[in-house]
Chains A and B, each alone.
Chain A
């Protein structure tokens, strides 16, 4: 009997509290800065080009082979009177989000810190009607970094 009264009190105190539900599509929970969605490429603000030099390190390291990297000579290189110190730069970059398993290995192997895991909600809400739409090309991979939508964080 005391147990029943105690349980009644517990539910009553719960009743007085505010519901914890978030109305998901309307309101989003704040994501932690180290949230790991799909990988994307970062944009070098100073020189106005991607950090990525197309070195294939990530492509080779990728365990599910979801990446395709094609490199080209950098037209902005100092030898062409450009501002950039990068001799080579990325030409085409495809990541198939349908295959990616978000293992973070590409980020770890990258020598230029040119690739990062998306830590915004756009990285999670990637539903499409056709699987082939999941293959992201270079502009798509860069758009969020260009718009400065990613949360800043410094790896220790």
Chain B
């Protein structure tokens, strides 16, 4: 059994796999450190501060220092924690994120593996880490951790649906260029490479504005970023499932969080912003050079990350019932309607501009629904005493 990597023929599959895994691990660790530094710097600017400046030039080594400190710290386990659950939980949060990197398209034909069902695979593995969160919450034998774990589960499962539906809505209408000129362009693909290739002229954000917005919101929730950071909300559950973790295990959670952010950004760039393709069909005829592709992808992913940090700097945390209501009552119905419209366009071959118009209307509807929800808040639930009084009367 042999395969081919970097143009070198006849490489043993195991060696090949090892090289790819090492590449992912190295790349991810370095980028996550950079991401943490960038987040701290950008967030500081949002508050008119400077951020880290002391360690290394403009604070570049801050993450390295933090990582060293975390690795050096004692790895504590509470006495009445469930040892297996507690110790295994970080891996279950961490490994799915690694797995997600397999399909991420960095540049044209350069990814760990090109999977025909790439998007499905991405959605599948990124859903697994909820199990890790619950395990961390349960295994710590701590009430805060337990509540945080349950919140993570509720939130993760609820927002998985709009996320999946938004990816589905894109995947079903993507126009896959035929393999040769004579072949009819097929519709629908889960292969990320083909999805990117289909956006050489116009990125999907133009055809699917509502889907883009919903994906962004759902991604925020999936990543447990503010305003959806209720599982780890410091002021409510003091760090949620991470309360009892310290040292290297805690840093694994942290690493997973930022790596997930990176993957989400890359997938967002690939699915909605057109990946390595230059916008508006520049350089359409021949693919741009690799370094230019990498720069474009990095720029598009950075845009997503910047938006995430921007939202973090601006918006306070939601309450849990608002959070669930927003997913089930607003995002999900809107996404179902969008999928329906996409299906109609697909079946009756309507012009694609309809999608744009519907999407823009969808955004207006989303705003209107949220606005209405803000105007007419739910009546407060009855207290136990009131309920008992009602039963007595």
Contacts and interface: CB of A to CB of B under 8 A. Distances in A.
B310 A12 contact: yes
A15 B43 CA distance: 9
Contacts, number: 42
B310 A11 contact: yes
Give the contact-size bracket for chain A.
10 to 19
B367 A8 contact: no
A1 B46 contact: no
A10 B314 contact: yes
B53 A4 contact: no
Contact of A21 (B49, B315, B370, B371): B49
Contacts of A132: none
A14 B310 contact: no
Given A1-B371, A1-B374, A8 B311 contact: yes
A28 interface: no
A1 B313 contact: no
Contact of B370 (A1, A8, A20): A1
B55 to A, nearest CB: 14
Contacts of B47: 14
B314 A20 contact: no
Contacts of A7: 314-315
Nearest to B312: A11
A19 interface: yes
A15 B45 contact: yes
Interface in A1-59: 1-4, 7-8, 10-12, 14-15, 17-21, 23
Interface string B45-80: 111111001000000000000000000000000000
20 contacts: A1-B367, A1-B370, A1-B371, A2-B371, A4-B314, A8-B310, A8-B311, A8-B314, A14-B45, A14-B47, A15-B313, A17-B48, A18-B48, A19-B44, A19-B48, A19-B49, A20-B49, A21-B49, A21-B50, A23-B50
Interface of B: 44-50, 53, 310-311, 313-315, 367, 370-371, 374
Interface of A: 1-4, 7-8, 10-12, 14-15, 17-21, 23
